[in-house]
Amino acid sequence: AVLGKAFDELGLHKVWLMVRSDNERGLHLYHQCGFRIEGQLSDEYELNGHYLDMTRMSIIEPVYRRWYRKTTQ
């Protein structure tokens, strides 16, 4: 629903997100939805005195179209 709005209604070319690098379930879920890793950011955020690594993931409109067709057939 969110990706459909981004690509179909808003006409965006790319959607990206940041997820904690230690969030294996999140990384897997986003990958299953067509997102791919663009990069790792070391010590990107501080939480309770500890620094967290983050992973940037994105999906571009042509990849979304291929993914969407594949998952709806």
Active centre residues (catalytic): 30
Q: Give tens-digit pLDDT for 5-28.
A: 999 999 999 999 999 999 999 999
What are the structure tokens assigned to 66, written together? 């291929």
What is d(CA 73, CA 31) in angstroms, rounded to the nearest whole number?
19
- Please give the C-alpha separations between residue 26 and each of 1, 9, 62, in angstroms, as whole numbers: 18, 26, 22
Q: 15 in helix, strand or coil?
A: strand
Q: Which residue has the tokens 């179209």?
A: 65
What is d(CA 8, CA 73) in angstroms, rounded to the nearest whole number?
19
Q: Give tens-digit pLDDT for 33-59.
A: 999 999 999 999 999 999 999 999 999
